[in-house]
Amino acid sequence: MLQPQFPIPDAEPIVIRGVVFDMDGVLTDTLEFHYQTWQRLADEENIPFDRKANEALRGLSRRDSLMAILGDRMLGEAIVEEMLDRKNRYFLEFIQTMTQDHLLPGVLDLLQELRSDGIRIAIASASQNVDLVTRQLGLTDWVDAITNVYNVPHPKPAPDVFLYAAEQIGLPPHQCIAIEDAESGVKAALDARMWVVGLGPQERVGAAHVILSNLNSVRWKDLLDKIQCCR
């Protein structure tokens, strides 16, 4: 298993001024929406697909997800684009039904604490629909920057989207905590030299500095204490 890397030398104090959230699996859970829409597309194209295959797509961009589903199938770019657009249309139907009730437990309380403490907040997602989802969830006024992998040259697990998010909130990456639930996102945030909180099983997020099952009842002070103690 990968060992956590530390953004700054041991001798320097840890100063945290920003938090960068992934969207899916952290602020809300659209995994079921993605599963149903990918399953619909796969059924239409007679491609084998199931929940296990869907879990492997966690943290990937839409294009990378489709490439994983297609495997060694070779399709022209026009066909690939049509399939990506079709999947997105199916997904947008689900998004329109989302409300603040779809926030995961503990998220709103943590956001309120961050705001009260003057912490800058960003979202760095693999989803092209992150702006729409943010609006549907009623989070627009809670965040200072919303970014996605389509704003940068390379998707997760490259660090680009996290580096861009830090730039958007005006902070060096080592003054930010990234909260992720996917292996690709954890690697991206570590390579961006951020402190990383992984949500989920250790085998998936084990390289994170701090590992939690979820954000339910997580207090900002406690999270800071865990970061301060993790090295």
Binding annotation for Mg(2+): 22, 24, 180-181
Nearest alpha carbon to residue 6 among 228, 193, 178, 198:
193
Token readout for 25 is 């699996």
**22 annotated active-site:** yes
Two tokens at 44?
Answer: 């239409």
Asked if residue 171 lies in contact with residue 118, where contact means CB atoms within 8 angstroms, the answer is no
Residue 22: exposure state from Cβ atoms within 10 A (0-12, 13-18, ≥19): buried
Q: How many other C-beta atoms lie within 10 A of the C-beta of residue 208?
A: 28
Identify the active-site residue in 22, 72, 191, 222.
22
Binding site, annotated residues: 22-24, 38, 57-62, 65, 87, 125-129, 156, 180-181
Binding site feature residues for substrate = 22-24, 38, 57-62, 65, 87, 125-129, 156
10 among known catalytic residues: no
Positive or negative, the Cα torsion across 161, 165, 100, 107? positive
Could you say which of 10, 24, 109, 222 is catalytic? Answer: 24
| Positions marked catalytic | 22, 24
